[in-house]
Structure 1
Amino acid sequence: MESNLYYDLITSNMKSVASKISSTIIYAHMTNQKISPEKIKKNIDFDFALFNVDHEKLAGDINNIETKLDFRKDIQKVNNSYVVIDDSALGHLGVNYVVIKETILHKKISKLRNKILISFFLIFSFISLIGFYLAKMFIKPITNERIKLNNFIKDTTHELNTPITAILMCTSKGSSLNEKNLQRINLSAKRISEIYKDLIFLFLQDKKRDLPQELRIDKILNEQIEYFKALASKKRITITITIEPTSYIIDKESFIRLSNNLISNAIKYNKINGTVDIILKNNQLIVKDSGIGIDKKYLKDIFKRFYRANDVQGGFGIGLNIVYTICKQFNIKVDVDSKQNIGTIFTLNLNYTKNPH
């Protein structure tokens, strides 16, 4: 219980501080400025350190924990202190990892914990009057949904922060609107638009949409791939296309959400210099990547809303849920074959139907 209370109190603030430091480093690099570790230290209430890609410390006041850190985990406990590792600096100014270590005295936490325990006891006494049965039947599911919602909000904020930061940097004072910056602004704006459209599609399903009709989905798919080519080029990913003329009864926006989420995941969870194969023929849509893959034990859960098989990459757990929802609505059978560190294949069998509703 102590760990959970302490975790809730401190980690959200530490993440925010680490993200701000990463943004400061990126901004300094983009504007040819230097960063001052002393100035950073004055503005935060935590110990911090900056590390390069080889996990070597570049600056900061955290000492003698390098060998104990697991740079693959964003939150961990080292020597009875919580440590947050943020990798969003992406190598700017040679910094690949921002490490934040909490320094709040256990005495203060113990005092606060006692107050929380007293409050919890009073609340628990009141809830006990309602009865164990109601608590078991109603409170636990609500708590689980609250946790899912909190995680979703945090992940959504993180997903929006990256493109917004890029736009702000490219349009800040002193930044020139050259072709490279314009491309960054364009990609970031499109990323925000995709997030918005996914959220609208998922949470406003009652919103009036176009009626399903027979569409040339090969033409729609080709149009969407053009957007992803620019995104793939940033990771030096090669997209191979095999598309035959194909018609299917579906509304346009649903097919765009369906294909875009599959292609976006294939790029997001891919490796540098990886490949993505997009095949549309014989009434099948296949999206194959050479990415990190999915552990077999997680495959049964990947279509659940807010579920994420790993925390290594971005995302907030709604993309594949949208894919599943659309497939179910329009009688499309979806199969997944994945091997870790080899890649993933999504196969959609387009079972032609006159009335998907």
Structure 2
Amino acid sequence: MFRNVEIALASLYVTTTGVLIAGIYYVHQILGVEQWGIIAFLSLIMTLVVGGILAKIAITPLREHFHHLERFSKETLHELNLPINTITANVQMLRKSHTDEKSLKRLERIEIAAEMLKERYNELDYMIKKQSEREKIEHFDLREVIEERLVFLRSLYPSVTWDVMIASYVVNCDRIGLGKVIDNLIENGVKYSPKNPIITITLQDNTVSIKDQGIGMDEITLMHIYDRYYQSDSTMAGYGIGLNLVKRYCDRYGIALHISSRINEGTCVKLEFKKKGIVDG
């Protein structure tokens, strides 16, 4: 498909160049027009018309490809939702008939895995909607979002000690995307911390602070943390795109992102929202 687009674009270039040369020749030699300003203007008009037609022909396959990809993604998400709900429903039923400690622990692990799948489902759904510029701007309390994410993260990371001090603060932005930002920053703190980590989360005035006591970063790493696919430790899980997405979200909604870190002392990430809790969309 992309090969066809390349051929179409090459044809567009050759054809428009040919039309330009032929137009100049026709107006100057055949019609006998000597004013080069008029010749240039008429040639430009002809080139724009032909170029627009050929550009539409060249872009059509690419547009059809993206429409197909978007439709396929939506259908796949719809199909994923059914097994996730089935797993959750059956686990709840099994809890009624299995009450011994060993079975309950197994069911709890299944529930956590299903919840992780559901989170990935929501994330994919959000990314598809974001690509189509259909973000939902909401007016909400930032404290509620942090508490919602902590309910999920506490079950996912039972060995973490959580030091949480959050006050209410109202913002106006994409709630789902902000939840993903909070998830990413907290998960980074856990991932790059030793066993039984301590994660400190505060929300005071217009600033959210997420601090860990992990391995920290040097100055060179701090210079590259927003680069897509960059990872300071290749042995760690992930694809190195998290902070890149966080940075893009913060830029989108005018949130100041501050990261400070020291080797073997930990990292502190701060999200500074605009005063009065208003973030322009």
- Same fold? TM cut 0.5: yes
What are the equivalent positions in structure 2 for 1:199-210 lying under 5 Å apart?
Answer: 199-202=124-127, 205-207=130-132, 209-210=134-135
Residue equivalent to 2:147: 222
In structure 2, what is the Cα distance between the partners aligned to 1:209 and 1:246?
25
In structure 2, what is the Cα distance between the partners aligned to 1:327 and 1:184?
34
Which structure has more RCO (C-alpha within 8 Å, separation ≥ 6)? 2
Residue equivalent to 2:232: 309
Residue equivalent to 2:113: 188
In structure 2, what is the Cα distance between the partners aligned to 1:335 and 1:277?
16
Secondary structure of the 1:248 match is strand
The Cα shift of 1:202 comes to 4.6
In structure 2, what is the Cα distance between the partners aligned to 1:263 and 1:304?
19
* One-letter amino acid of the counterpart of residue 217, structure 1: L
TM-score by length of 1: 0.47
What are the equivalent positions in structure 2 for 1:70-89 lying under 5 Å apart?
Answer: none
In structure 1, what is the Cα distance between the partners aligned to 2:150 and 2:227?
26
Secondary structure of the 1:303 match is coil
Instruction: Report sequence identity in percent.
Output: 27
- Note the residue ranges of structure 1 that are not aligned, 5 or more in a row: 1-166
How many residues are paired up?
184
The Cα shift of 1:190 comes to 2.7
* One-letter amino acid of the counterpart of residue 227, structure 1: F
* One-letter amino acid of the counterpart of residue 137, structure 2: P
What are the equivalent positions in structure 2 for 1:195-274 lying under 5 Å apart?
Answer: 195-202=120-127, 205-207=130-132, 209-233=134-158, 236-274=159-197
Secondary structure of the 1:322 match is helix
How far does the alpha carbon of each residue in 1:229-285 deviate from its partner, in whole angstroms, 9 at most, with x for none? 12221xx22011101011011121111111111111111222112200011111101
Residue equivalent to 2:280: 356
Secondary structure of the 2:237 match is coil
* One-letter amino acid of the counterpart of residue 327, structure 1: C
In structure 2, what is the Cα distance between the partners aligned to 1:190 and 1:339?
34
In structure 2, what is the Cα distance between the partners aligned to 1:348 and 1:282?
11
Are the aligned partners of 1:288 and 1:345 in contact in 2 as well (CA < 8 Å)? Answer: yes
Secondary structure of the 1:205 match is helix
1:229–1:204 Cα change, 3 Å: same
Secondary structure of the 1:334 match is strand
TM-score by length of 2: 0.59
The Cα shift of 1:192 comes to 3.2
- Note the residue ranges of structure 2 that are not aligned, 5 or more in a row: 1-86, 92-99
In structure 2, what is the Cα distance between the partners aligned to 1:240 and 1:354?
27
Residue equivalent to 2:257: 334
Which has more helix, going by share of residues? Answer: 2
Are the aligned partners of 1:287 and 1:346 in contact in 2 as well (CA < 8 Å)? Answer: yes
How far does the alpha carbon of each residue in 1:27-76 deviate from its partner, in whole angstroms, 9 at most, with x for none? xxxxxxxxxxxxxxxxxxxxxxxxxxxxxxxxxxxxxxxxxxxxxxxxxx
Are the aligned partners of 1:284 and 1:348 in contact in 2 as well (CA < 8 Å)? Answer: yes
The Cα shift of 1:296 comes to 1.9
Are the aligned partners of 2:136 and 2:175 in contact in 1 as well (CA < 8 Å)? Answer: no
